Amino acid sequence: MSTELREPPLMRADNRLPGTPTKTKKRRAYSATGSSKEMWLLLLPALIPVVVLSVYPLVQGILLGFTDAAAGYNRPVNFNGIDNYTELLGNDLFWQSFRVGLIWAFSVTILQFLASMGLALLLNMNLRFRGVARVLALVPWAIPPVIIAIIWRLMLNPTAGPVNSTLAALGLPSDINWLGDPTFALPAAIVVGIWAGMPQTTVTLLAGLQNVPSDLHEAAALDGAGAFRRFRSVTIPSLLPIIFAITTLDFVWNFNQFALVYVLTAGGPGGQTMLPMLFAYNEAFKYGNFGYASAMGNVMVLIIAALLVFYLRRQAKERQS
């Protein structure tokens, strides 16, 4: 039998065996748990309004789209499955409004981007009174959409508006009913939408232009590149992430536009400016078909969600590359 004696394990300076959990580790675990609880307690004042005012109405709206809810005193609400959606598939007026909405959103987004890029390039130049010009460029951003629509209704008035008065002074046709003629109503609304949405796009692009390294422009100039070539080869590639982000967000905002077009034309004349949001609003509050209108809203939410998923995936790929 071996009589070899084993040496006792080495003791630490604090008289603990190796591997014994320390009070410091316990304190860290406790502090991590405590900080997590404190974090949620601090977030509650911000989360409660979001849940009550955004998440809960959204969930209620989604559920309402699967019911036959309609206006009426003590009218029972029954679950009708996908009946609203099958009826929606055959509603030509809704898909007509959807087509108008796409025309509106794409036109306003693209033209707004082009105008905002030109204005941002101008405001980025070292011009006199540049600060005043930048402040003036933000004026439409400070005006509510309803007020913007009222101002433009007055300007586009066929008899007393300054637009037709200016055309008359130039010897051009001046009897155009801009918001009442089916030919001109949508183009006129698009112009108003461009003017109303330019400030945020201009500010975003201007911030991007100021972050483009000047060394790249100087190197391109030394290589003999002109202003247009520098803009195409240096400025645009540097702004691509910002351009993609702002145009995607602008499209979502424009597709969901309601107040501006509602005050301008209320969807007329003849449905030429009837955006999907206006169509769903009329279905709910003019005809009282709440369930059917909620189904329309759900379809639009799915489309917007698909656009956002596409945007987020594109952003993730750009970050990985």
CA–CA distances in Å: residue 114 to residues 120, 135, 188: 10, 20, 18
Please tell me the predicted confidence (pLDDT) of residue 31: 53
What confidence tens digit (pLDDT) does each residue in 166-214 have?
999 998 888 899 999 999 999 999 999 999 999 989 999 998 888 887 7
Closest CA to 191 of 180, 178, 202, 205: 178
Low-confidence ranges of the chain (pLDDT < 70): 1-34, 318-319, 321
Please tell me the predicted confidence (pLDDT) of residue 86: 92
What are the DSSP calls for 213-256, one per residue?
-HHHHHHHHHTT--HHHHIIIIIHHHHHHHHHHHHHHHHHHHHT
Structure tokens at 86: 């099958």
Structure tokens at 15: 């008289």
Structure tokens at 278: 């206006």
CA–CA distances in Å: residue 235 to residues 1, 70, 209, 214, 228: 86, 54, 7, 10, 10
- Give the separation between CA 32 and CA 219, rounded to whole angstroms: 51
Counting Cα atoms < 13 Å in the Cβ hemisphere of 87 gives 16
| Domains of the chain, CATH where assigned | 93-320 (1.10.3720.10)
